[in-house]
Structure 1
């Protein structure tokens, strides 16, 4: 036998707005049709009962008028018997009882409630041999025996009532079904026409190629506005991401051009010379330029990462204690400070300093501030990292006793690729820009001041949170 291949899995049907609307409209309409049929039947049955009850009361009144002396002897006239017993679907039943003489005439044993003399016939439900009946009873004076009263009861089965109700239902149901079909057609037509208003919007979006601008709301139905506004928000995030990508590429091309060109130049020197001194000098330049290119690339990536809209916002951050994070970050830089000949210190309170943020980003900000102080203060100077906890904000500061920055350049610190003129140290001009971006991400701010010792003081102000408002998400 040939090997039976496994059938490919069937793809689930795509959701259809038209099918969904028609389903939500047509299913209730069919339910209404069924409910209408049930209600129509009971309305027809009530009408049939009212007509038959009136006839049954008339029969009881007619029998009371047709009773004569023969009836009191147990016999009925042919007209009375025909009136009472004629029924195409069965028989009617009757009983005439005298207060003095007991049962006078009857074709069934029918009991009934007590009624007043000369009162209108009273209608009630009863049974005869487990057969449901509808009966009418009345009490009248005996015209042939003064002082005596006659109780007259007539009854009929319920088959004819139900038959009449079914006939009424069958007469009205086709018209109602035709009306429902017309309603269904109008619903389908209305849904199809209503969805047609999306065609201009669809055509306008189809004509777009690389346009990520807002869709606009001039031809958008009110019901679709939440969707188009969500798409506009998505377009805005995509524009931001593409902008960051383009800026990163442009910055990388601009900042890496010089070190890469220098590396190429010195590699050519290595290839063209056999002098050991020149080879050592060229190799030193290659190493320095390669380190500069690596640092520039790392800081460009760090800056782009802090500006990315995909990073969690303040609602997605955790409660961190800067009194723990900052000393650990400073301790990790001690060996580098010793190698650079810089006196690195920390000043801070022992009480918790809680903020809402990301510990890794805060540590990255501290690293950039310390690196900046190392580079521009220089060997033999002092760099101090301090932390102060206020009621409304937490102050993280890094200051040095180096040459400082002129007042004319303080406002430009933090700008991308800005370097203070006259500084010989290699730098990318991105460290303080990264710090400002991290501060903005945490809802804080950065200020650049002159230190008391004459150097530069950089302050980060973070919004503080009280210890009573922290939950289970505290992290360090």
Structure 2
């Protein structure tokens, strides 16, 4: 279908808010008008062809008639009054101008217009007139020439030529066009009215859907496809997808509020207790001890809130396509590990890396991937214990790239491995501080990147986490 440019819409629809009905009518009206113009050109061309054919037949007839008159009445080449009347007769009164000439091959012009020349190559006797175009001054003419023997000079050939201007031909074509345009305009107007009625009737099918949506307040359930016209199913499906994303966002928001209230209740209660203790016992030792506990509780609350935000971001349905890039894990992972070496040494843990030198490409968001590795390293530093070692490994496995984090700490009993990755789950009996959100964040980030997470005991005891990403 014809594509209309935006400037044409602004010209035809100057209002700031455009109507879909008006757009559809314009899209249909403009091609109809162009069709009228094109059809008029075709009609004019056809009428001109018809007019040329009729006038060519008349011109040929005039040439043959003049030939017969010369053969029977004017052997010396003079034009009789009857022949001259025939050539100059204009039945329509259009003043379209006619010209003639009679030429002898031996004696030159015998009668008529000296500048009207016969066509080149017309030297043999022929009873069939030849039609051709010729210019006489500033006028374009259509001419017909026929030859005949000169009865007064045996061996001589006379060439009879008659010509006329093209004015009458174009006049007839324009008259035919003017007669056809009203009928075409009425037909196109009728088609336009039918299209307008059809568009108006068709768009009324959107009214029930609009009424259904208007009745909703906080209902984000899918619209569905019942009673929806096929043409707008893509629109309703897109709206349903939007509703699904909104439901997911609201659910994440409610879950975040509930989790924050649950996780921050204990630190806030502790802050209140130690603040009251410092007020009740203002001696320096008690105040210093209370401030130390308050600082630890603030750090715990800060870490918990940061992990809650990270978990909420990781629980969104899809990664940001604009932020995803092609990353080389063989270059990125060692750099991230080097940043955590000093922290590991302070915790008494030997942190190392073992991986290939060749590039290992995946499609991922570098920020969230760094967050995933930081949580894995934090988990090892928190639970492996002083004196333990932790190794970050990277390996290619068929169509996947496996990122592993393994330590030789106390490990996790097999019966609890299946629950790792659940929000707020902590292995019973574990004395180290934590919120139970680190592995949940790792799980969600891996899923967002179409990866998987596996928890198992290490090869030499301890604990091992394996995250697999599709290689690119």
Q: Indicate whether the TM-score tops 0.5.
A: yes
Shift of residue 186 of structure 1? 3.0
- Number of aligned residues: 451
Shift of residue 248 of structure 1? 0.9
* Alignment match, 1:473: none
Match of residue 44, structure 1, among 24, 44, 47 = 47
Question: Map of 1:227-238 to 2, 5 A cutoff?
Answer: 227-238=235-246
* Alignment match, 2:205: 197
User: SS of the counterpart of 1:125?
Assistant: strand
In 2 relative to 1, CA 137–387 (structure 1 residues): closer, same or farther, beyond 3 Å? same
Contact 2:330 2:359 in 1 (8 A): yes
Contact 1:348 1:388 in 2 (8 A): yes
Question: Map of 1:308-319 to 2, 5 A cutoff?
Answer: 308-309=316-317, 311-312=319-320, 316-319=324-327
Greater shift after overlay, 386-395 or 274-283?
A: 274-283
Q: Kindly provide the CA deviation profile for residues 77-99 of structure 1, in whole angstroms up to 9, marking residues without a partner as x.
A: 44333222223316533333456
> CA–CA distance in 2 between the matches of 1:101 and 1:41?
44
In 2 relative to 1, CA 80–398 (structure 1 residues): closer, same or farther, beyond 3 Å? same
Q: Kindly provide the CA deviation profile for residues 369-420 of structure 1, in whole angstroms up to 9, marking residues without a partner as x.
A: 34334443444x4132232433543332231332x33222121122111112
* Alignment match, 2:423: 416
Q: Kindly provide the CA deviation profile for residues 184-234 of structure 1, in whole angstroms up to 9, marking residues without a partner as x.
A: 333333333333333333222222222333333344444434333333333
Shift of residue 145 of structure 1? 7.2
* Alignment match, 1:80: 83
Match of residue 252, structure 2, among 227, 244, 247 = 244
In 2 relative to 1, CA 252–130 (structure 1 residues): closer, same or farther, beyond 3 Å? closer
Residue 53 (1) aligns with residue 56 (2): yes
In 2 relative to 1, CA 73–405 (structure 1 residues): closer, same or farther, beyond 3 Å? closer
Greater shift after overlay, 297-306 or 386-395?
A: 386-395
User: SS of the counterpart of 1:212?
Assistant: coil
> CA–CA distance in 2 between the matches of 1:378 and 1:384?
10
In 2 relative to 1, CA 76–387 (structure 1 residues): closer, same or farther, beyond 3 Å? closer
* Alignment match, 1:132: 140
Match of residue 343, structure 1, among 349, 367, 381 = 349
Match of residue 360, structure 2, among 354, 358, 361 = 354
> CA–CA distance in 2 between the matches of 1:323 and 1:42?
73
Contact 1:373 1:383 in 2 (8 A): no
* Alignment match, 2:393: 387
User: SS of the counterpart of 1:386?
Assistant: strand
Contact 2:323 2:365 in 1 (8 A): no
In 2 relative to 1, CA 295–154 (structure 1 residues): closer, same or farther, beyond 3 Å? closer
Shift of residue 69 of structure 1? 6.9
Residue 399 (1) aligns with residue 407 (2): yes
Q: TM-score, normalised by structure 2?
A: 0.81
Contact 2:330 2:356 in 1 (8 A): no
> CA–CA distance in 2 between the matches of 1:47 and 1:246?
81
> CA–CA distance in 1 between the matches of 2:335 and 2:469?
17
Residue 456 (1) aligns with residue 463 (2): yes
Q: Kindly provide the CA deviation profile for residues 227-250 of structure 1, in whole angstroms up to 9, marking residues without a partner as x.
A: 333333333222222221111111
Greater shift after overlay, 311-320 or 50-59?
A: 311-320
In 2 relative to 1, CA 71–248 (structure 1 residues): closer, same or farther, beyond 3 Å? same
Q: TM-score, normalised by structure 1?
A: 0.81
Gaps of at least 5 residues in structure 2 are 1-13
> CA–CA distance in 1 between the matches of 2:132 and 2:459?
109
Contact 1:319 1:355 in 2 (8 A): yes
* Alignment match, 1:95: 101
Match of residue 21, structure 1, among 24, 30, 50 = 24
> CA–CA distance in 2 between the matches of 1:190 and 1:303?
53
> CA–CA distance in 2 between the matches of 1:369 and 1:34?
73
> CA–CA distance in 2 between the matches of 1:63 and 1:24?
59
Contact 2:329 2:361 in 1 (8 A): yes
Shift of residue 450 of structure 1? 2.5
Greater shift after overlay, 351-360 or 232-241?
A: 351-360
* Alignment match, 2:218: 210
Match of residue 329, structure 2, among 321, 327, 348 = 321
Shift of residue 144 of structure 1? 7.2
